[in-house]
A and B are shown apart, each in its own frame.
Chain A
Amino acid sequence: MSALERMAIQQEAALAQRVLQLRQWQQILNEELKSGAFAVPVHLAMGYEALAVAVDEAMGPGDQMVLTHRNIAYHLARGGSIEPVLAEYRGSEQGLAAGRLGSMNLTQPARGIVYTSSILGNNLPVACGLALAHQTYNRSDVVWVVLGDGSMEEGAFYESLLFAASHQLAVVFLIENNDHSLASTIAQRRCRIDGASLCGAAGVPFASLSGNDAALYRERLRQVRRRCQSGGPACVEVALTMFNQHAGPTPGWPSDPKRISIEDGLLLEPHSRDPVYLALACLEQAGEKILA
């Protein structure tokens, strides 16, 4: 095995380890939630780990992120530590925002997370404004704004897409499609939205991602970022499975069939729907290759 091949394997393994670390931190938070440790509502994102790690690694040093209420995976990925998040949820001055922002509006400006809103669609125009400021000052930084399949239903999505396209703003619209808005699936609440057609109508490049391969996600997102830097927005829709309830501890609602416990390990489902499944496989393969 050449040094180059060995390095590539090690890089993929490091990425897989980050996915596992994010799951472990969320499991810890889930145990805290179960014990009633937080007064603020916390929206876990078990199942989002591969995407969060990939976005973190695709971002440039001056890039900015604009998040939703389900922001935990990105905060952990960008911050690289659970303690400030735990402290924030506990309302401590040692928290990421000195206990002033809690969970749903948490920001981390030092790591580029500059605005977070729990109101569906609210963050999209703000992202456009951030990008317009970059353009005004001739900066090539990109703004990554996260929305869900619920926010796609808001007029602000359409408006912001048009605004970003009309003024050639470097915005990545990152749609986390987990098929849920609160307790309603997409089929239970609306017609299907063809993201490619919608974006295509405004001349916005569109890409779909699925499968939770963090290395592949990272590469695709880097390509998207380069495209945005050359002028104009892009939209990426990512298929996700969420393994926790909408908010609160898991089990959260009395009807929740899931029973997630840190005692049962990191893997929640032996399938590629669970990013941990792929991460574990990646690490196993890396070990075998290096040993061979």
Chain B
Amino acid sequence: MPEPFLHPAPVNYISAINRILIETALLHPDLVQMGENINKGSCIGGMTRNLPGRVLNIGNCENTHCGVGFGMMLNGASLALYVKQLDFLLLGLDQIVNTYNLIRCQGQSQALGSFTIVVIVCDQGMQGPQSSCNTLADLCSLARVDGYTLTNLAEARHLLGQYLVRPGFRIIALSQRLFHSPVLDPEILYTSPNGGMIQYSDGPDLAIVCFNFSLPQGLRLAAECGRARLSTRLFSAHPVLPHAWDMAVEAARSTGRLVAIDDGKGVNSIAYLLAEEVRRRAPHCQVTVLTRPEVSWTVGADRFEIDYQALVEAVRV
């Protein structure tokens, strides 16, 4: 059984994603890419440095930027909007919720184009209270928007390749906490057709499902289990509807144990929905949900801590 892999690739997370964005954009010459400081200064923390094609450096009008994306989409064009912080997107909620609903409802006489928001989630805790908004699924749930959280190279390659330019609308999120860490490069074993569930390992002892940006914690838990000669079935789950949870539920049923992890600060974690689904379909499964019962509203490292040894001991019992 392969151990889950904590082998870092030689580049850091943000450089790796920047490279993938460039490679993907080169495949779509009609793609318009825009963002505040997209090609100035740090280029949004390095995310958008040297993007090819038509790149618009734009002013501080987030609500309008979101609406522009939908207008482009209505006219069959493709737009990628890069946003510095998830908090900034709150200014565009009218567009993300209402405009998207209207477009979905009215049905189009011509094919829709592509609108993708690529946003950084400031989850390292140093932004202060405003960085409490770190759960992509919360935003997505307002209008049932598809969302993808990028935590590693394999996922970034796959999800950006599939969804940066594709008819329709979605949000792809990066974690600022991971920016300068060596990028993780686990091997993907399986991806659900809608990209909502990605499997990284396949073992008989424990199912682990990671939400938001908690895959690094899931990988660490899998590694700790490996040291204790326990083999895990590890997944990352993205807020994409319909939930592609069958494989995770089956993993929970067959291993008899599920650990669902969510580092988001919202109170409506979809990890609880998965837990409920598992309890319904596999009532004998032992389910543990790890979320953040308390959060700090002040500046601080704000790390999502897990007692790995206690979890491993619990599994061994």
Contacts and interface: CB of A to CB of B under 8 A. Distances in A.
Interface of A: 64, 97, 100-101, 105, 107, 109-110, 114-117, 119, 122-134, 136-137, 155-156, 159-160, 162-163, 166-167
B94 A119 contact: yes
Q: Which of A97, A131, A136 has the most CB of B within 10 A?
A: A136
A159 B61 contact: yes
Interface string B49-93: 000001010110101111111111111110100000000000000
Interface stretch (B104-112, B154-162, B282-290): B104-112
A122 B59 contact: no
Contacts, number: 115
B105 A105 contact: yes
Contact of A119 (B32, B70, B72, B98): B98
A162 B36 CA distance: 14
A126 B74 contact: yes
B30 to A, nearest CB: 7
Given A105-B102, A129-B79, A162-B59, A136 B71 contact: no
B95 interface: yes
B113 A163 contact: no
A132 B98 contact: no
Contacts of A107: 106
Nearest to A157: B64
Given A105-B106, A130-B74, A155 B98 contact: no
B113 A133 contact: yes
Contact of B109 (A109, A115, A162): A109
B113 A100 contact: no
Contacts of B64: 124-125, 128, 156, 159-160, 162-163
Contacts of A128: 64, 67-68, 71
A133 B109 contact: no
Interface in B145-184: none
B18 interface: no
Nearest to A160: B64
B99 interface: yes
Given A129-B69, A129-B74, A133-B75, A162 B61 contact: yes
A133 B102 CA distance: 19
Contacts of B69: 129
A131 B106 contact: no
A107 B76 CA distance: 17
B222 to A, nearest CB: 43
A119 B72 CA distance: 19
Given A117-B102, A122-B99, A126-B71, 15 more contacts: A97-B106, A105-B102, A105-B106, A107-B106, A110-B109, A114-B75, A122-B94, A125-B64, A125-B68, A125-B71, A126-B95, A128-B67, A155-B63, A162-B59, A166-B59
B63 A132 contact: no
B99 A134 contact: no
B74 A114 contact: yes
Query: Which of B59, B69, B106 is most buried by chain A, counting CB atoms within 10 A of its CB?
Result: B106
Interface of B: 30, 32, 54, 56, 58-59, 61, 63-77, 79, 94-95, 98-99, 102-103, 105-110, 113
B77 A136 contact: yes
A129 B98 contact: no
A131 B103 CA distance: 17
Contacts of A110: 109
A234 B269 CA distance: 47
Contacts of A115: 71, 74, 102-103, 106
A116 B64 CA distance: 16
Contact of A100 (B59, B67, B105, B110): B105
A136 B105 contact: no
A27 to B, nearest CB: 28
B61 A133 contact: no
Given A117-B98, A133-B77, A163-B58, A125 B65 contact: yes
Contacts of B99: 117, 122, 126
B95 A122 contact: yes
Contacts of A160: 61, 64, 67
A130 B75 contact: yes
A133 B72 contact: yes
A57 B67 CA distance: 27
A123 B64 CA distance: 10
A110 to B, nearest CB: 7
A117 B76 CA distance: 19
Q: Name the residue among B59, B77, B102, B103 with the largest chain A CB count within 10 angstroms.
A: B102
9 contacts: A64-B75, A122-B95, A125-B95, A126-B68, A129-B71, A132-B77, A133-B72, A134-B75, A159-B63
